[in-house]
Amino acid sequence: MRKIRLGVVGCGIAARELHLPALKNLSHLFEITAVTSRTKSHAEEFAKMVGNPVVFDRYEELLDSGLVDAVDLTLPVELNLSFIEKALQKGVHVICEKPISTDVETGKKVVELSKKSEKTVYIAENFRHVPAFWKAKELVESGSIGDPVFMSWQIWVGMDENNKYVHTDWRKNPKHIGGFLSDGGVHHVAAMRLIFGEIAWVSAIAKDISPLLGGMDFLSSIFEFESGVVGNYTVSYSLRGDDRFEIVGTKGRMEIFWDRIVLNGEEIEVPHQDSYQREFEDFYRVIMGEKRNDLGDPLEALKDLAFIEACVRSQGNRVSVSSLL
């Protein structure tokens, strides 16, 4: 089996704690051959965790080295567009952490670049690889709760000064729309769209509650899928509480957890699988021409971001999500 030579670009939290464990389990598919980071000492530390990849001072040097078939971009969001473009110009595949870009307009440029290139651009949205969401989709489509009518997802993250993500410079002074609302929110939109499809319109209120977090940190929305299912999505990155993801239909209801689904009072176990490992496996299969890029498609990532941007723009008014696209 052919290994993909991978260059890791950006050696922060996501690369160290999320991507590297998955890639170590996929050493039969990927070999990390090169690394670079804005701070060279971070790249050198990361290289020691990997083995013996070449450490480069600059991204351009890594791309010109001939050592990589693909790059894994874990960067401040505002760098995604330019770094993707440079990789494609050098004939290198890309897997890039979400959100796709800082806003929908620049995200559209990523989509256009991907359409024009023969190389893969894969936006790494791991929530599209979470088994519980796929099981929920299966149960909804099989009629287990009758016709779905309403879904509600309340998420209370409750970040404080002990949270490592709070102290990331680019998150403290966000250039991406809504700050944490888009950084984390595109995950949630990806899951909701996976289960129910496209979202037609949204009305929302977004607020900046905590001075600790950069940008807005609270959002509550009411919206409607094109299928007619009505949704409520409320998230706070500053307030603590109990998360709840519930779907109500004409013949029952379900509650979704990471490792199980409670369907009409009965628990259905959903075995855990590493969603980061699953997305890298999928990226490999796309590169090798074994499947189309449906789960990492930049257009899907753009639609996730469009919902959040519509929420931020809404100020209580109804906004058509497709109008942004």
| Residue carrying the six token digits 């600790």 | 212
List pLDDT tens digits, range 197-211: 999 999 999 999 988
Question: How many Å apart are CA 289 and CA 194, to the nearest integer?
Answer: 23
Assign 3-class secondary structure to the chain.
CCCEEEEEECCCHHHHHHHHHHHHHCCCCEEEEEEECCCHHHHHHHHHHHCCCEEECCHHHHHHCCCCCEEEECCCHHHHHHHHHHHHHCCCEEEEECCCCCCHHHHHHHHHHHHHCCCCEEEECHHHHCHHHHHHHHHHHCCECECEEEEEEEEEECCCCCCHHHHCHHHHCCCCCCCHHHHCHHHHHHHHHHHHCCEEEEEEEEECCCCCCCCCCEEEEEEEECCCCEEEEEEECCCECCCEEEEEECCEEEEECCCEEEECCEEEECCCCCHHHHHHHHHHHHHCCCCCCCCCCHHHHHHHHHHHHHHHHHCCCEEECHHHC
| Residue carrying the six token digits 């060279």 | 40
Distances (CA, A) of 144 to 140, 216, 230, 263: 6, 37, 18, 8
Closest CA to 126 of 149, 162, 98: 98
Bridge partners of 236, per DSSP, are 156, 218
**One-letter amino acid for residue 277 of the chain:** Q
List pLDDT tens digits, range 135-188: 999 999 999 999 999 999 999 998 888 887 877 877 878 889 999 999 999 999
User: Which tokens hold the place of 319?
Assistant: 């906004």
Show me where the domains of the chain are located.
4-125+277-293, 128-271+303-324
pLDDT tens string, the chain, 325 residues long: the values are 799 999 999 999 999 999 999 999 999 999 999 999 999 999 999 999 999 899 999 999 999 999 999 999 999 999 999 999 999 999 999 999 999 999 999 999 999 999 999 999 999 999 999 999 999 999 999 999 999 999 999 999 988 888 878 778 778 788 899 999 999 999 999 999 999 999 999 999 999 998 888 789 999 999 999 999 999 999 999 999 999 999 999 999 999 999 999 999 999 999 999 999 999 999 999 999 999 999 999 999 999 999 999 999 999 999 999 999 9
User: Which tokens hold the place of 256?
Assistant: 């979704």
Question: What pLDDT does 172 receive?
Answer: 78
Domain range 128-271+303-324, its CATH number among 3.30.365.10, 3.30.360.10, 3.40.50.720, 3.30.70.120: 3.30.360.10
Q: Note the pTM of the prediction, 2 decimals.
A: 0.96
Residue 99: asked if its preceding bond is cis (omega within 30°), the reply is: yes
Question: What pLDDT does 252 receive?
Answer: 98
Question: What pLDDT does 170 receive?
Answer: 76
Question: What pLDDT does 167 receive?
Answer: 72
Domain 4-125+277-293: give its CATH code: 3.40.50.720
Question: How many Å apart are CA 246 and CA 119, to the nearest integer?
Answer: 39
